[in-house]
Amino acid sequence: MKNIILFGAPGAGKGTQAGLLAEKFDLIHLSTGEMLRREVSQGTPLGMRVKGIMERGDLVGDDIVVNLIAKALDNGRNELLDEWDELRLRRACGIGPDDPLPEKPQPSIIYDGFPRTVQQCQMLEFLFQKKQRKLDCVISIDVPQEELVRRIHERALISNRSDDTEDVIRHRLEEYEDKTRPVLDYYKVSGRLVMVDGSGEISETNTRLCQVLQYVLAQ
Ligand code: ADP
């Protein structure tokens, strides 16, 4: 039951890579961006609160995202796990075919887009203490600034995300520099940070990430 954070600037490829890794290693993929977009598209009270914030490219409040993560961790055999067939669940938890499944199976989790502020890092630490989880590794996908800008603009041409417009993209990158980059220093000190070169093709980055994951999951 490992907990792995995939860190990176907007455009670094966190979402794509987290999806590929989750599929390959049977991990639960928790993306705060996706969870928030789901709330917005379902028109929930929370979705209505965050819609404008996301459209401006601002970060959503720390309490809101930490609550989403806490809820996902609480649910145990929740809607995330319900999407899995039993075989995959058993494999992910290392439970044999004839052994009973526990009430709350706990596969490993890859966190994508969270934590994004130092405050969120501290809140996550507290949450992990309460839920008897621990952070195993933070993997940062490293991409030069010019390449990030090029990729987000390219994605903007095909995406229907309302926060993929010129001004908003610039603001998201500013928010990243101001509030999210300090997260790297926070984890550097703890010695759990691994930097991976993400400047090349999706498959190249994926190969590097798989090597790290293989090592972390075997510990
Ligand atoms: P990207 O990394 O491409 O900017 P995400 O899907 O991770 O995209 O996030 C989209 C938006 O959702 C962010 O710009 C922000 O408004 C909100 N968001 C996602 N995760 C967080 C978080 N951990 N803290 C605050 N806001 C968040």
- Residue bearing tokens 């926060």: 163
10 ligand 1 Cβ < 6 A: yes
Q: Read off the pLDDT of each residue in 186-191 and give the average, rounded to a whole number.
A: 88
> What is the per-residue pLDDT for 158?
81
Q: Is the peptide bond before 115 cis (omega within 30 degrees of 0)?
A: yes
pLDDT 10s digits, 50-59: 999 999 999 9
- Quickly count: other Cβ atoms within 10 Å of residue 47's Cβ: 16
Predicted confidence (pLDDT) at residue 137 exceeds the cutoff of 70? yes
Predicted confidence band at 82 (pLDDT cuts at 50, 70, 90)? low
Predicted confidence band at 179 (pLDDT cuts at 50, 70, 90)? very high
114 ligand 1 Cβ < 6 A: yes
State residue 29 phi and psi, 5-degree precision: -100, 110
Predicted confidence (pLDDT) at residue 78 exceeds the cutoff of 60? no
> How far, in Å, from the CA of 131 to the mean position of ligand 1?
24
State residue 184 phi and psi, 5-degree precision: -60, -45
From 37, 51, 58, 60, the mutation candidate for ligand 1 (largest count of ligand atoms within 8 A of CB) is 60
Q: Are 162 and 56 in contact (CB under 8 A)?
A: no
Structure tokens at 38: 């789901």
From 116, 148, 155, the mutation candidate for ligand 1 (largest count of ligand atoms within 8 A of CB) is 116
pTM for this prediction: 0.90
Burial 72-98 (b: 16+ CB within 10 A, else e): bbeeeeeeebeebeeeebbebbeeeee
- Quickly count: other Cβ atoms within 10 Å of residue 145's Cβ: 11
